[in-house]
Each structure stands twice: as structure tokens, then as C-alpha cells.
Structure 1
Amino acid sequence: MNDHAAGPQTQGALAHQALFPIREVSRLTGVNAVTLRAWERRHGLIQPTRTDSGHRLYSQADIDTIRRIRGWLERGVAVSKVASILARGQASVQDVAVAEPSSRSQALLREAVQRFDTAALAQLFDQLSAAMALERAFTEVLMPVWHDLAAGQGAYGQASEWLFLDQFLRGRVFSHQQSHQQSPRKAQPRRLVLAPLPGPCQELELQVAGLMLGSEDVGVTLLMPGQPLDELALVCERLRPDALVLFANHALTAGMGKRLVRMAPSLQCPLLLAGEAAPLAQDSLAGTPVVCLGAEGAVMRQRLRQYLAGQLDT
């Protein structure tokens, strides 16, 4: 079916309703029209509305979803897996909608970022921190906007907006971690080393994973992107953690999965996997020494606690 631009009257209606034809959506997202149709027909990832003549019309929410899809695909996630990832994220938003206006907070966050307004950004961050747990604020408000900007950097200005938000959030997480480390703790908390797997990984993603896994009972030492995988045995020998957690939001290659299995016995501590790589690799790593914690913050933390307590069936 052709998706030609609508006529003058229809264009006026589109502008009023903030709906966009497929050609404009392709320009905004960098995804060609053939792919957009395939994501709709074959995979059900997007559901645009239609004009009376059958032309597709996309809302801003559709465009945001397309950018998320593109972001996951660029990380190596198979298109067949993206639907379940999006569904988990939508369920999280729906669950919290009754208690917290997360969509409104996201809108305010976008406005502050578009103005490069540090003061407004700081005020919103403080309000979110006061209204909910910081982990929840990142899961439901901050990281969704961060991901959308990261996936949409083809549009003019979005690279600068993403860098602005990324720098601000990294600074806030670092400050939180510093104050948390200086607060009174149990005499001997459990200790984790959290390191990124080779491949696409932003520092903020790793910091937020550390935020999700850490607690009063569990201290987390972060190793930044660029950490050599071959030197993790040395790091663990010197730090003697209770576990090494490897983090990745991209699918593992078959070779990397085998490498982790071979590496596990040399670490002198358990090897755990977190991030989107974990549910994607769970079946292939079943029965190996590598334990998958999951991708969502609450799930990762719960499974970590169960594992450290010897209650997780691996």
C-alpha cells in the first residue's frame, strides 16, 4: 500500500493532532518505510492509526517507540525479542500510573533538557527522589527519556540534549554512591564487583545497574567501560568479592557465552550476568557456572539476594 503525503486539509489536521505520515516518521527516526511496515505487520511492534484512505499516521508515542526499537536492535537484540522488552516496559508504566504521573514527569524532564536548564533538571531530580525510591525514578522516568534521546541522535540537537542529560545523571548517581558508601553500614557487608562486558555500554547504564544491585547489605565496586575481560581474574584475586557481576544490554554472541563459561572457574568467586543479556542468554547458559540475574532492577536485586543467601536454584 502506498503512503503518500496527505493533502492540504489533511496536513492541517495532522498538525493539529500531532500525527505524522510515514515519510516524515522515516525522516525523524532514520528508519525506512519498508522497515516500519515490517515492524507493524510481521512483529506487531507499532500500531499506527489510518486515514479513511488507508494511509498510516504515527503519533509522538509511536515515534518514541520506534526510536526505542532501533536502539535495542543496534545493541544486538533480535527483533523477535524486542516485543517482550517493550511489553515489560509498558507494564511497568501502567503499574505505576495510578500512584505516580510518570508520563508527566518525563514530559517535564524533556522540557528541561531541551532548554539545557540545569536548575530545572536538578529541581525535578530532587522532587523525584523525594517522591519515590531513586531506583524507581531511574526506571520509570529518567532512563526512558535517556534511552529515547540516545536512540534518536539522528535528529538535529538530540545528541547535545542526550550528552547534557547523560552528564547530569552520571554526576547525580556518583554523588549518591559516594554518600551511600560513607553512611554507616553493617560491619561486613557483601561485596560485588560490577563490570561491563565488551561491547556497547554507557557509563550511566553501568552506574544505574550498580544502584539497583547495591543496598545496605551489599556494596558495589564499579569497573568502567574498557575494562579488559582477561584481567578480571586478577581484579577478583585482589578485591576478593563475594561475586563478580558482568553487565550487558546487548545479546551475547555464542563465542562470548562459551568464553564466560570457560572463565568462571578461574575467578575464585561466583560469576553472575545482569542486564538485557541475562534473559536473552538464560537458556544457553542453563547448567553452566554462569548465573543469570535478569534485566529489571527489582528482579536483579531479588535474584541477587536469593543467590547470596543460597536460595536461588541455578
Structure 2
Amino acid sequence: MTKQGRNPAIEAGLQHQDLFPIREVSRLTGVNAVTLRAWERRYGLIQPTRTDSGHRLYSQADIDDIRRILGWLERGVAVSKVGSILARGQMLTHGAVLADCTARWQAQVREAVHRFDALALDSLFDQVFAALSQDQVFSEVFMPVWHDLAAGPGVFGLASEWLFLDQFLRGRVFARLQLARLPRSHNVVLGPLPGPCLELELLVTGLLLASDEVGVCLLMPGQVLDELPLVCERLKPDALVLFANHPPGGGLGKRLTRMAAGLQCPLLLAGEAAEGAQDGLAGSPVACLGAEVELMRRRLRQYLAGQLDT
């Protein structure tokens, strides 16, 4: 219910709304100033902005929240319980706002790509990163457009548009990966499985798996599978993660099991290939991280902490 929980897209809209002093809010809602301050301090039900001198200023959204609070109090709900009720409703609102924002950003990305406008695409990338989490930037905005262009039904020009967007995103993701190359408590090597693997998917996966605790060293498509033990011997990672978003080929499980025996670090499998190979690798020394980013990230942390079995 606090402003810290609001979506940045909502905050941007609030900057353009009128703000009201507490005496005016009391007049509009019938709630005296002492009660408004108590709702703020004791229960966190409303969080008005403050002037430099400390005076409270309320937005129209704050006033609407106050009226909702009054409505629940009139129904007999205790004031201490109102916050959780409003928070659930706010989450639904945020979801609708987020869906609207991401649809609009996707349309703007498509238009910039259609014009081959690198400057507009640069600006959009920065805007989206400022408003959304890193996961959402890719899963909700850029990668859906990338996938749609890749799957275009042979429409003239779409191949060039896809290449333009692909090149742009690879450059931006690679730059962010370079900025993140600092010493970490754990370091993993991320490489592609044999077969079709698009570089951007690998780069994005590396960026999203990296964290303050986990550093990621990327091996690009074309990496020879049989040379991975040599690479790991020299890099000495805490784990080797192999990634692919295509179905695992026949005999992959046996090949990976043999490789794991020759590695000096654990071998993990990620992406859609992990989903397809999980049953066949049960009981083997190869751990499957799954295909969804948050799941991969959580399982990787658990495995590095010794809390995830193969």
C-alpha cells in the first residue's frame, strides 16, 4: 500500500497530478488530520509526498485510497486489517497497468525496428530499464518482439528487422555483462549445448543468472563440447552450466554423464533442454535447473550452497 510498492509507471503519472495539502484532504474526505497522520505512521495505509519543509502533500490516488479505507471501516473491518485488503487490490491494479505499459512499449519497439531507428531503440531501452526489473525488460518487452519477428510468416522485410533488433540487443546485453564482471563469491561458466543456439538467448540467460553473489563467464555458440573439461580446468569455476532452448538430442544424457565424470566442477543443465532431459538424468551427476529464469536462478543458488540434489 506504500508508495515504495507502486509501479514506476504509476509514479511517472503521479508527477503530473495535482497535489493537495492535508487540510484540503480533510475537507474532501471528512477525515481529520490527526487520523490521517495516524493511518500513515501506525499502519502505513497512505504515504503522502513531503515538501522540503516537511509538509504532507496528497495525490488524487491518495485521496481515492482514503475513501476506500473509509468504505472498509464502514463495513466493520478493523483499521489494522485494511492495509492487506488494499494491497491485494493494488496488486491487481499494478498488473493491469504493467500489461498496458508493456503492450505500449512493445508497439514502440516494433515501430522503431520497422524504421531501423537505432536512436529511438536506444531511448526505449533506457526507458524500459528505468521502469521495470531486468527480468521484465526482456521477458515482457524485448524478447516477445524478437520472437515474433523470428517467427514471421515470410513477410518481406521481417528478416532484416529481426537482424536489426537482434544485433542491437546483443550489443546492449553484452555491454551489461561486461559491466558486471567483478569478483563474486561464486563463479560459473555458461555455455551452449551442441545444436541450434541463438547467441542472444545465451547472452540474456547469462545476464539474468548473474547476481551480486554469482558471476557468469560466457562461452559462445560453436564451443566444442569435448573441450569443456579443458576450459573448466583452466577457469576453475564453481559449476559449468550448459544451456539450450531446443529439445535434447538422443544420447545426450549418457554423453553429459560421461563428461561430468571428467570435470573438476559440477555440471548443470538449463533451458528447455533441461526440461526435456530431466527424467533421463534422474540419479545422474547432472543437475537440471529448469527453463524459467527465476527457477534457474533459485536452483543455481541452492546448488552452489549445497542445498540442491541432482
Aligned residues of 1:210 and 1:222 also touching (Cα < 8 A)? yes
Does the CA contact (< 8 Å) of 1:212 and 1:300 recur in 2? no
Report the equivalent of 1:37.
none
Moved over 4 A (4+): 94-98
Q: Say if 2:192 and 2:242, in contact at 8 Å, map to a contact too.
A: yes
The residue number in structure 2 matching 1:103 is: 103
Equivalences for 1:74-85 in 2 at 5 Å? none
1:236 to 220, 232, 238: 232
What do the CA deviations read for 1:18-43 (whole angstroms, capped 9, x no partner)? xxxxxxxxxxxxxxxxxxxxxxxxxx
Q: Is 1:129 aligned to 2:125, yes or no?
A: no
CA distance in 1, matches of 2:242, 2:190: 6
Describe the superposition over 1:43-78 as per-residue Cα deviations: whole angstroms up to 9, x where unpaired. xxxxxxxxxxxxxxxxxxxxxxxxxxxxxxxxxxxx
The answer for the alignment partner of 1:223 in structure 2 is: 219
Asked whether the 8 Å contact 1:96–1:102 carries over to 2, the reply is no
Note closer, same or farther for the CA distance 1:137–1:249 as it changes in structure 2 (3 Å cut).
same
Q: Call closer, same or farther: CA 1:95–1:145 in 2, change over 3 Å.
A: farther
SS of structure 2 residue aligned to 1:123: helix
Alignment pair present for 1:304 and 2:300: yes
Note the C-alpha offset of 1:99: 3.2
Superimposed CA distance per residue, residues 120-154 of structure 1 (whole angstroms, 9 cap, x where no aligned partner)? 11111001110112222011111111111112262
Q: Go from structure 1 to structure 2 and tell me whether the alpha carbon gap of 1:272 and 1:97 turns closer, same or farther (over 3 Å shift).
A: farther
Give the counterpart letter for 1:145 in structure 2: V
Q: Which residue of 2 aligns with 1:15?
A: none
* CA distance 1:215–1:234, shift in 2 (3 Å): same
1:161 corresponding residue in structure 2: 161
Distance verdict in 2 for CA 1:189–1:254, change over 3 Å = same
Question: Residues of 2 paired with 1:96 and 1:174: CA distance?
Answer: 30
Match of 2:245 among 237, 243, 249: 249
**Corresponding residue of 1:274:** 270
CA distance in 1, matches of 2:249, 2:179: 38
Give, in angstroms, the shift of residue 97 of structure 1. Answer: 4.2
Which letter does structure 1 place at the counterpart of 2:150? A
Helix, strand or coil: the match of 2:217?
A: strand
Q: Is the 8 A contact 1:245 1:271 kept in 2?
A: yes
Q: Secondary structure at the match of 2:303?
A: helix
Amino acid at match of 1:214: A
Residue 257 of structure 2 is aligned to residue 261 of structure 1: yes
1:202 alignment partner in structure 2: 198
Aligned residue for 1:284?
Answer: 280
Alpha-carbon offset, residue 247 of structure 1 = 0.4
Task: Indicate the SS of the match to 2:181.
Answer: helix
- Kindly, what percent of the aligned residue pairs are identical? 67
Q: CA RMSD in A?
A: 1.7
Which deviations, in whole Å up to 9, do the C-alpha atoms of 1:188-227 show, x marking residues without a partner?
5211100001111111111001011111111111000000
- How far residue 258 of structure 1 moved from its aligned partner, in angstroms, is 1.5
Question: What does residue range 106-117 of structure 1 map to in structure 2 within 5 Å?
Answer: 106-117=106-117
The offset of 1:313, in angstroms, is: 3.4
Q: Distance in 1 between matches of 2:286 and 2:145?
A: 32
Distance 1:270 1:95, change over 3 A: farther
Query: For residue 3 of structure 1, what is the aligned residue in structure 2?
Result: none
The residue that corresponds to 1:150 in the other structure is: 150
Alignment of 1:171-210 (within 5 A): 171-181=171-181, 188-210=184-206
Compute the displacement of 1:96 (Å).
4.6
Task: Give the aligned residue type for 2:237.
Answer: P
Q: Determine if contact 1:112/1:121 at 8 Å carries over to the other structure.
A: yes
Q: Distance in 2 between matches of 1:276 and 1:95?
A: 30
Give 3-state SS (helix, strand or coil) of 2:251's partner: helix
Conserved in 2, the CA contact under 8 Å of 1:197 and 1:229? Answer: yes
Figure out how many residues of one structure are paired with residues of the other and give that number: 217
Aligned 8 A contact 1:213 1:220 in 2: yes
Larger radius of gyration: 2
Cα separation, 2, equivalents of 1:194 and 1:174: 14
SS in 2 for 1:293: strand
